[in-house]
């Protein structure tokens, strides 16, 4: 039973990582396999580390009220920043281009820059809410022993890795069809996730 709960939790936690993985694919349709694996690995590992931290320090974190309030705000700010940045960069590129031909040449010459720092921010923003999930994780997974919780976390990592890997490929397909419009769409996805996090937080306060 705990294995099924681990799979279900893994899918649920991976949805934000899946959406952000799509935006990464939208930014570069020529992305190579090593980079795709790196993206999926980052999201998978962070999605496992966060609940692990929450599980190991559950009582401590549960007593820190300010920390619970800070988590969704941090995720909201980071994702809003990244989404807005993507949209603004496309708008600036369009303004600099003298005509459609110039814009197409720029797209072919210089795909959107991708850095480890950017990936780190994305991984943090999409997994930070899993910290609170880790508190009482044994109850969430219906686990009767600590080793089941650890195996459950490994399952979450694997599920997130697979889903993120698929997400990048989906993004690459859309980028090939819609060019810079796909990047704008990706930015909107990031802002949408940020708003979802904020709205969920506000509803929980009410």
Would you write out the chain's pLDDT as a tens digit for each of its 206 residues? Answer: 788 989 998 999 899 999 999 988 888 878 889 999 999 999 999 999 999 988 888 666 666 667 777 888 888 999 999 889 888 887 887 777 655 555 555 555 445 567 888 899 999 988 888 887 887 788 878 888 889 999 999 999 999 999 999 999 998 887 766 666 777 888 898 899 999 888 988 887 87
Q: Judge whether 15 lies within some domain.
A: no
Q: Judge whether 87 lies within some domain.
A: yes
| pLDDT the model gives residue 60 | 65
This prediction's pTM: 0.81
| pLDDT the model gives residue 205 | 80
Q: Judge whether 169 lies within some domain.
A: yes
| pLDDT the model gives residue 109 | 45
Q: Judge whether 27 lies within some domain.
A: no
Q: Judge whether 39 lies within some domain.
A: yes
Q: Which residues have a Cβ under 8 Å from the Cβ of 54 and sit 6 or more positions away?
A: 61, 130, 131, 132, 133, 134, 135, 137
Number of domains within the chain: 1
CB atoms within 10 A of CB 152: 26
Q: Judge whether 127 lies within some domain.
A: yes
| pLDDT the model gives residue 86 | 83
Domain that holds residue 96: 2-8+32-205
Q: Judge whether 117 lies within some domain.
A: yes
Q: What is the dihedral of CA 194, 195, 200, 202, to 10 degrees?
A: 120
């Amino acid at each position: 039973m705990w294995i099924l709960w681990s799979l279900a939790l893994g899918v649920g936690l991976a949805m934000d990582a899946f959406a952000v993985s799509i935006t990464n694919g939208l930014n570069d349709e020529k992305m190579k396999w090593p980079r795709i694996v790196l993206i999926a690995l980052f999201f998978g590992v962070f999605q496992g580390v966060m609940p692990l931290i929450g599980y190991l320090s559950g009582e401590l974190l549960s007593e820190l009220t300010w920390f619970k309030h800070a988590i969704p705000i941090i995720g909201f700010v980071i994702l809003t920043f990244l989404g807005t940045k993507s949209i603004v960069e496309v708008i600036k590129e369009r303004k600099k281009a003298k005509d459609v031909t110039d814009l197409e040449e720029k797209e072919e010459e210089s795909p959107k820059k991708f850095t480890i720092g950017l990936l780190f921010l994305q991984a943090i923003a999409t997994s930070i809410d899993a910290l609170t999930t880790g508190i009482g994780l044994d109850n969430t997974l219906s686990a009767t022993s600590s080793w089941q919780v650890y195996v459950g976390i490994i399952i979450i990592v694997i599920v997130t890795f697979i889903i993120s890997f698929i997400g990048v490929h989906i993004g690459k397909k859309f980028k090939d069809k819609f060019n810079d419009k796909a990047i704008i769409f990706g930015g909107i996805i990031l802002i949408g996730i940020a708003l979802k996090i904020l709205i969920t937080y506000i509803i929980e306060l009410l």
